Amino acid sequence: MSHKHHLPNVTIFATGGTIAATAASAAVTMGYKSGDLGIEALIDAVPQIRTVANIQGIQVMNIDSTEVTVKDLISLARRAQQEVSSPHCDGLVITHGTDTLEESAFFVDLTVQTDKPIVFVGAMRPATVISADGPLNLLEAVTLAASPKARGRGVLVTLNDRIGSAFLTSKMHANSVDAFRASEGGYLGFFFDVQPRFFYAPSLPLGRHYFSAFDLPDELPQVEILYSYQGFNPRLAEAAVKMGAKGLVLAGPGYGTWRKAGRMENARLVEQYNTQIVTASQNGDGFAISQGGRNNYGAGHLNPRKARIMLQLGLAQGYDSEKLERLFSFDC
């Protein structure tokens, strides 16, 4: 395909997921294999994107998003940084499975520095079924990445005509095409007639910190998530630490509350193992606070999975408790 000088240049990184899946029939939306289709097939299925931008497609990986590892994320972030640092790239789209899309998008948001648009996109239905959502989602993602209005907003997530910040957007429905929500931070914009419409001028979320992907080790410190419930055995936290966890994210009810026995066990782990502990809320919205004491931090408005990534990045950079306290302050 010839290069059109009047169009912006958008690169698509394909990683697999439902957007690249094929099903046994046009009426089957379960039991499919993620990542059957390669990047060229995705592009060829939406020829309209070539009227929006000059497209370069790169198959970074082709897997189910639940199989994405820390090494995969670091590699993806490094490649993304290299791509958007090129003067020949105006925007980047990353296709991704929806189950862990929010984790990958959040990770890239914290580890790639650019004002160029980076847009994560996925699909809730395989590419071969009736009313597949992937093709339109991909067209809108490319349109968003090609738009100068999308610059300076951090990493974006778009599905089902909605535009959200990777910092605040999460998958909230297991099946619906309208699966992603932007929590109390709100959506940044929407699509009308396949064109992005923003509610606000470009800005970044408070509390968004930057960690260079190239300064990270190839493996990040182990951080585990524990989910609290009535009768939860607090000794499970020590089991996680003995298996190598340097940090714990404790997902509690309300604003991240834990029963007294759990708080006492956490304090013991801090004294004995110097464990770093973040309390997060199990609820979709709200603000989680620290349960008090040394090495304890509140996840704020981050859900447990995003709080885990934030803690991993801080630990990878050798942050002490004072720096971790600032990292999870969310006011700067």
d(CA 50, CA 44): 10
Q: Contacts for 323-329 with beta carbons within 8 Å, 24 or more apart?
A: 324/276, 324/295, 324/297, 325/297, 327/209, 327/297, 328/278, 328/290, 328/297, 328/298, 328/299, 328/300, 329/207
100 is known as an active-site residue: no
Identified catalytic residue from 11, 15, 18, 128: 18
Tokens of 262: 């759990």
Identified catalytic residue from 11, 15, 29, 98: 98
Side-chain half-sphere exposure of 280, counting CA atoms within 13 A: 26
Q: Is 176 annotated as a binding residue?
A: no
Q: Is 98 annotated as a binding residue?
A: yes
Tokens of 177: 């095409």
Q: Is 36 annotated as a binding residue?
A: no
d(CA 283, CA 181): 13
Read out DSSP for 234-248? THHHHHHHHTT-SEE
Going through 172-229 in order, the beta strands assigned E by DSSP cover 180-181, 189-192, 195-198, 223-227
**Whose structure tokens read 């995705």?**
42
18 is known as an active-site residue: yes
The neighbouring-strand residues paired with 9 are 54
Q: Which DSSP symbol is given to 142? A: H
Annotated binding residues, written as ranges, equal: 65, 98-99
Q: What residues are annotated to the active site?
A: 18, 98
Q: Cite the annotated binding site for substrate by residue number.
A: 65, 98-99
